[in-house]
Copies of this chain bind each other. A is one copy, B any other.
């Protein structure tokens, strides 16, 4: 079973909570996904504590609690280490959790993460007793260094956030997985169940999916599809995938059989 910082997760599918039309839909999606970990942007928390009316419309904590899903606040929107650390501290206080998905992306267009600031913030947050899961480019050296400063897992991207392009970083994910002693959670870019299955087949420990579920015309069905795909990919990884080759091997030569045919003829 997947174990992050001493906590066990029966499901290897993590979900995001953004872009859902209403909390009820999120609840149904979360249930269909079987997920036991969900990320939540801090901005949403902020709104819900300040503004009662908006809070009711945007209450995502209640459904997650009802389903006993572990909450992973994220620092999405933070542009540097300082902002991310403040955000993590505020989240810890408001939500009573020291878990944090560390996201720092100064780039407003592609939302690519800033590895330098992420490393600085991760080191500090680990020292401050946080359970840190940093979102990073698929950078093998950075992932190793984040492990060394005490991160609980690394979350390398498959492709730019929201692009649904799958595992563009495949070859680098292989290196990261090979080198890691902490869980590797593929985050961003996973746009279809086949992408999720593939990440698991590569040996990833989990995947995080948000927009591919949230923007689907049928989010609940899509959540179930991702859940199955993640199980399928993990199961195949554990069973051992067949080797990829080029030359076929005849599974059933007909020589003898056709000799008989020729005789009959």
Interface residues of A (CB under 8 A from B): 16, 18-19, 41-44, 46, 74-79, 83, 86-87, 90, 105-116, 119, 137, 139-142, 144-145, 159-165, 168-172, 174-175, 191-195, 197-198, 201, 210-212, 215-219, 221-222, 224-229, 231-233, 235-236, 238-258, 260-261, 264-265
Contacts and interface: CB of A to CB of B under 8 A. Distances in A.
A140 B261 contact: no
Given A192-B241, A216-B241, 5 more contacts: A42-B254, A42-B257, A77-B250, A193-B235, A194-B229
Chain copies in complex: 4
B76 A233 contact: no
23 contacts: A43-B254, A43-B256, A77-B250, A77-B252, A78-B254, A79-B258, A86-B264, A87-B254, A109-B247, A109-B248, A110-B247, A112-B139, A161-B251, A162-B248, A169-B169, A171-B246, A194-B198, A194-B236, A211-B242, A218-B238, A225-B233, A228-B231, A229-B236
A18 B249 CA distance: 11
A242 B215 contact: yes
Contacts of A211: 242, 249, 251
A172 to B, nearest CB: 8
> Most B CB atoms within 10 A — which of A44, A83, A250, A264?
A250
B77 A242 contact: no
A83 B261 contact: yes
B111 A250 contact: yes
B222 A261 contact: no
A161 B90 contact: no
A78 B255 CA distance: 9
B216 A225 contact: no
Contacts of A114: 141-142, 145
Contact of A108 (B75, B77, B87, B250): B250
A32 to B, nearest CB: 10
B107 A144 contact: yes
> Most B CB atoms within 10 A — which of A86, A108, A194, A235?
A194
A83 B258 contact: yes
Contacts of A87: 254, 257-258, 261
A262 to B, nearest CB: 9
Contacts of A174: 246
A183 to B, nearest CB: 20
B197 A241 contact: no
